[in-house]
Structure 1
Amino acid sequence: MSADTRREELGVSGPGMNGPGEVDESAFSGLAERHRRELHVHCYRMLGSFEDAEDTVQETFLRAWRRRETFEGRSTFRAWLYRIATNACLDLLAKRRPEPATGGEVLWLQPYPDRLLDELPAGDADEPETVAVARETIELAYLVAVQHLAPRPRAVLILRDVLGWQAKDVAELLGDSVNSVNSALQRARAGMREHLPAERQDWTGGEEDAGTRELVRRFTDASVATDIPALASMLRDDVRCSMPPTPGLYIGRDTVVNSWVEDGFEGMTGLRAVRTAVNRQPAVAFYLWRKDRGAYLPLTIDVLRVTGGAITEIVTFHDDQFPRLGLPERLPPEGTE
């Protein structure tokens, strides 16, 4: 596609784009909206927060409209938006989080519902960015590892390894040299190896097999029954548990089980569960019976990572995430549905 054709996509009537009247706003908005979901996922990966990603995509579209005259058609419109979105993320990180995450936990981490990930484009041979997005790494273990990188190496890693950008294009975006970008990429990859699960296949996603579905079913039943011995039998020795934004990372089966006992989970009654999926991982939403409300109300969501037939990680989110995940706001008494 020629530069002139790409500019014509935006409704540009002349080569200069010097005045707002030369671009049709509705055409511009329509083109930008086509890329909203993939840009949102890109910002989510950069920031680790669904809400921050939403704000940043809105800022991206605002900046794109204000700077529309800078689109010269040398790259695709999508790539131009990715440039703006990446810089918007870096600006936000500089203001809100001067330091990356530490200690293996990310307190601002939020889940991403699979039903929204399903909106991502399937891929287009003429647009290599869409192919990269379609096979992106979006699991929570990857998100946590990314958040431990400093912002600029984080951007380099995502642009190079996830989106497949050339080093010279990343260097142009960041205002760095190619050598600097390559050096940042090496540091970022080393940081990812330090924080990712040991075996790559543990976190690259894929369809649930029958064994995983059965394990999740057993986990759900044992959780509703608050059967701690049964739950403990499903955990790998080095299991990790966290509950953002509540501080605390529990590592090891005994440590995790002891935390459940101390929190009074054993013997708890009145739970119901609903299966769901977030970040391409199995998840279980739990509801607690509230007699005064005559219904089961949202409690927590457990997102599971399963490896070799055992649970290797549980990330628990609070009830404020239920609406975003499309979960019911309440469940009626059993037998009345």
Structure 2
Amino acid sequence: MGTDLRLEELGVNGPGEVDESAFTGLAQRHRRELHVHCYRMLGSFEDAEDTVQETFLRAWRRRETFAGRSTFRAWLYRIATNACLDLLARCRPAPATGGEVLWLQPYPDRLLDELAAGEADEPETVAVARETIELAYLVAVQHLAPRPRAVLILRDVLGWPAKDVAELLGDSVNSVNSALQRARAGMREHLPAERQDWTGGEEDAGTRDLVRRYTEASVATDIDALAALLREDVRCSMPPTPGLCTGRDAVVADWVDSGFVGMKGLCAIRTRVNRQPAVAFYHWREREHAYLPLTIDVLRVTGGAISEIVTFHDDQYPRLGLPERLPADGTE
């Protein structure tokens, strides 16, 4: 969109002269990128939705505070960041711990594609094209305290100067730089060591074949074939259900204990979530004479093997644009 616009570009002298529909139209141009920003801050798609709405309400109520010293886009980012910090202070008294983020929700690639199509030259687009939207990054960010988290995202993802971040947070530049160092150290502690080997972005032929084999083995509930696709240090979680399973043996044992082995009537659709390969599973229900949503597995692939599986419940299917049911032949 190239939307570093100022209010005077609407043909008025100041925000007091802008009617609500014109103001909303200008703000809505930034909805997707603001939503992605709030999603990084909060880790929850739903909380990001609510926070963007709150951002627009605050922006309209405080429109007289926009003096034109910065772009309208930057002004909205300031409001959105503070709205996220307010929510975190109100609803989440402590950051995530133990490698789990129980409030984590997936972000559909089809919505990220909207941003990529409309903001080709914006810093946010470059960030989305990298790994800062993948689930492991989101989980690591959620382990940071809120203010260092905001500093990290504004500085390292969006590329804001330290003085602008300091102004937003009401801190000194030295304080911002110190918070950034702490945040980077925290990210190194919680990010996978082999991060440079991730297969984010476009999938190569090897990854596509691996996902195909994972899908086929899962539908067949072939535990041996599945185990062969996993790294020895694979991690498996299922937010919001507590519990982080680490290691191939532990993951396989959990699948056996859960009754997955021998399960009949599965089919699957391959898709993408958070710029990662994903597989949506459906289970045959005789009463409905259709396959209904079961779970969706989002995969992280490292070195030709699956290094992490994050499983989400069927309530995420509508948001991800997945069918609510599949006919008897298992096709869309």
TM-score (norm 2): 0.94
**How much identity, in percent, do the aligned residues show?**
87
For residues 192 and 331 of structure 2, the distance between their equivalents in structure 1, rounded to whole angstroms, comes to: 44
CA contact (8 A) 2:267 2:330 kept: no
1:194-243 Cα shifts (integer Å, max 9, x gaps): 01010231347221000000000000000000000100000000000000
Give the one of 236, 248, 269 matched to 2:243. Answer: 248
Is 1:152–2:151 an aligned residue pair?
Answer: no
CA contact (8 A) 1:57 1:85 kept: yes
C-alpha change, 1:227 and 1:145, in structure 2 (3 Å) is same
Is 1:227–2:231 an aligned residue pair?
Answer: no
C-alpha change, 1:170 and 1:136, in structure 2 (3 Å) is farther
Corresponding position of 2:159? 164
For residues 321 and 129 of structure 2, the distance between their equivalents in structure 1, rounded to whole angstroms, comes to: 22
For residues 336 and 50 of structure 1, the distance between their equivalents in structure 2, rounded to whole angstroms, comes to: 28
Q: Residue 272 of structure 2: SS of its match in structure 1?
A: strand
Q: How many residues align?
A: 327
Give the one of 51, 55, 72 matched to 1:56. Answer: 51
For residues 116 and 213 of structure 2, the distance between their equivalents in structure 1, rounded to whole angstroms, comes to: 34
Moved more, 115-124 or 183-192: 115-124
Residue type matched to 1:230 in 2? Answer: A
CA contact (8 A) 2:129 2:201 kept: no
Corresponding position of 1:29? 24
Is 1:89–2:84 an aligned residue pair?
Answer: yes
CA contact (8 A) 1:295 1:332 kept: yes
Q: Residue 306 of structure 2: SS of its match in structure 1?
A: strand
Q: Residue 119 of structure 1: SS of its match in structure 2?
A: helix
Corresponding position of 1:65? 60
Residue type matched to 1:275 in 2? Answer: R
Q: Residue 316 of structure 1: SS of its match in structure 2?
A: strand
Corresponding position of 1:7? 7
Give the one of 272, 279, 288 matched to 1:277. Answer: 272
Moved more, 192-201 or 324-333: 192-201
Measured after TM superposition, the shift of residue 6 of structure 1 is: 2.2
Is 1:301–2:301 an aligned residue pair?
Answer: no
Q: Please show how residues 306-321 of structure 1 align to structure 2 within 5 Å.
A: 306-321=301-316
For residues 295 and 316 of structure 1, the distance between their equivalents in structure 2, rounded to whole angstroms, comes to: 22
CA contact (8 A) 2:214 2:226 kept: yes
CA contact (8 A) 2:144 2:183 kept: yes
Residue type matched to 1:237 in 2? Answer: E
Measured after TM superposition, the shift of residue 28 of structure 1 is: 1.0
For residues 47 and 234 of structure 1, the distance between their equivalents in structure 2, rounded to whole angstroms, comes to: 32
Corresponding position of 2:194? 199
Residue type matched to 1:9 in 2? Answer: E
Q: Residue 120 of structure 1: SS of its match in structure 2?
A: helix
Measured after TM superposition, the shift of residue 326 of structure 1 is: 0.5
Is 1:213–2:208 an aligned residue pair?
Answer: yes
- Consecutive unaligned residues of structure 1, counting only runs of 5 or more, are none
For residues 306 and 265 of structure 2, the distance between their equivalents in structure 1, rounded to whole angstroms, comes to: 24
Residue type matched to 1:214 in 2? Answer: D
Measured after TM superposition, the shift of residue 137 of structure 1 is: 1.3
Q: Residue 100 of structure 1: SS of its match in structure 2?
A: coil
Q: Aligned Cα RMSD in Å?
A: 1.7
1:116-173 Cα shifts (integer Å, max 9, x gaps): 0001145465x65555555561000000000000000000000000000000100000
For residues 132 and 300 of structure 1, the distance between their equivalents in structure 2, rounded to whole angstroms, comes to: 28
For residues 220 and 332 of structure 1, the distance between their equivalents in structure 2, rounded to whole angstroms, comes to: 19
CA contact (8 A) 1:11 1:23 kept: no
Q: Residue 321 of structure 2: SS of its match in structure 1?
A: coil
Is 1:180–2:182 an aligned residue pair?
Answer: no
Corresponding position of 1:109? 104
Give the one of 86, 95, 111 matched to 1:100. Answer: 95
Corresponding position of 1:237? 232
Residue type matched to 1:306 in 2? Answer: V
Measured after TM superposition, the shift of residue 57 of structure 1 is: 0.2
- Consecutive unaligned residues of structure 2, counting only runs of 5 or more, are none
Measured after TM superposition, the shift of residue 27 of structure 1 is: 1.7
